[in-house]
């Protein structure tokens, strides 16, 4: 059974035009400007087997982050079929799901529940999660007092300690200091070596080549390359030379 299957997936967004104050003052009130449809993911089909490490590459606006959000189920396709088989740990916006008034410790349990993990499992592994986050005494402070880096560390620590079968990573390694980034990279290597399925969005081709054996390249929402990572350079270079869009 495949870990991930995209079958003719499309995702459209309605891009509206807001009225300016000048429009409102000079008789444009009530007259809505026509909105446009943006096809962020265009008839994309691919499948990923359990245990594969795949890089998702493309220029800004190529649709790669939209594809990852579809996989994370934070948005749904406009059409087509998308299937994931296994527990998904999305490392997209680390800490974005935390409740600001709860402590870091309380948010570990909350985040674990959101990811479908039993409370008993979190209790068993909570010290590992706290140690990895390096938050120390701050773990019992409300998250609203955390910096973005502290929230990211806690979010990463939870996500990689809940036995994920599919790990979605979207440029999260750009967050935090050099030591934290190294810990993230080391943990990702462990997950890969354990046979987890990794999907990595990155602008760094060397990083993609270090962690992945296969690459998918998106260009303006269309899949233009699906093959071995050591053959992706030309397709990725063509994509990044394309004009910048809105992802």
HEC assignment per residue over 78-141: CEEEEEECCCEEEECCCCCCCCCCCEHHHHHHHHHHHCCCCHHHHHHHHHHHHHHHCCHHHHHC
Inside any domain, residue 225: no
Inside any domain, residue 47: no
Inside any domain, residue 128: yes
Which domain range does residue 124 map to? Answer: 90-163
pLDDT for 59 equals: 86
Inside any domain, residue 109: yes
Q: How far apart are CA 141 and CA 110, in angstroms?
A: 15
Angle separating helix axes 104-114 and 119-133, nearest 10 degrees: 130
Give the whole-number percent of the chain exceeding pLDDT 90: 44
Residues 6+ apart with CB under 8 A from 214: 52, 53, 54, 55, 226, 227, 228, 229
pLDDT for 17 equals: 57
- Mean pLDDT on 8-24: 73
pTM for the predicted model, two decimal places: 0.78
Whether 87 has a pLDDT exceeding 90, the answer reads no
Whether 240 has a pLDDT exceeding 70, the answer reads no
Whether 94 has a pLDDT exceeding 80, the answer reads no
Residue 94 phi, psi (nearest 5): -60, 125
> For residues 83 and 26, which has the higher predicted lDDT (pLDDT)?
83
Inside any domain, residue 208: no
Average pLDDT, rounded, for the chain? 84
Inside any domain, residue 58: no
Whether 245 has a pLDDT exceeding 80, the answer reads no
Q: How many domains does the chain have?
A: 1
Inside any domain, residue 158: yes
Inside any domain, residue 169: no
């Amino acid at each position: 059974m495949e870990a991930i299957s995209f079958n003719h997936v499309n995702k459209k967004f309605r891009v509206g035009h807001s009225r300016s104050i000048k429009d409102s003052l000079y008789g444009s009130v009530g007259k809505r400007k026509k909105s446009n449809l943006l096809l962020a993911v265009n008839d994309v089909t691919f499948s990923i087997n359990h245990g594969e490490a795949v890089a998702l590459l493309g220029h800004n606006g190529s649709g790669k982050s939209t594809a990852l959000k579809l996989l994370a189920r934070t948005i749904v396709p406009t059409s087509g079929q998308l299937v994931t088989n296994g527990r998904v740990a999305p490392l997209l916006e680390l800490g974005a799901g935390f409740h600001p008034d709860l402590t870091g410790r309380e948010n570990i349990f909350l985040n674990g529940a959101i990811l479908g993990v039993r409370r008993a499992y979190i209790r068993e592994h909570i010290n590992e999660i706290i140690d990895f986050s390096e938050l120390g005494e701050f773990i019992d402070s409300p998250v609203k007092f955390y910096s973005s880096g502290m929230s990211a560390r806690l979010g990463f620590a939870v996500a990689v300690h809940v036995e994920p079968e599919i790990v979605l990573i979207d440029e999260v390694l750009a967050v935090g200091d050099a030591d934290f980034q190294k810990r993230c990279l080391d943990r990702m290597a462990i997950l890969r070596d354990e046979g987890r399925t990794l999907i990595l969005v990155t602008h760094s081709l060397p990083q993609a080549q270090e962690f992945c054996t296969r690459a998918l390249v998106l260009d303006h929402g269309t899949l233009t390359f699906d093959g071995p990572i050591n053959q992706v350079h030309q397709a990725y270079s063509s994509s990044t030379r394309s004009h910048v869009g809105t992802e």
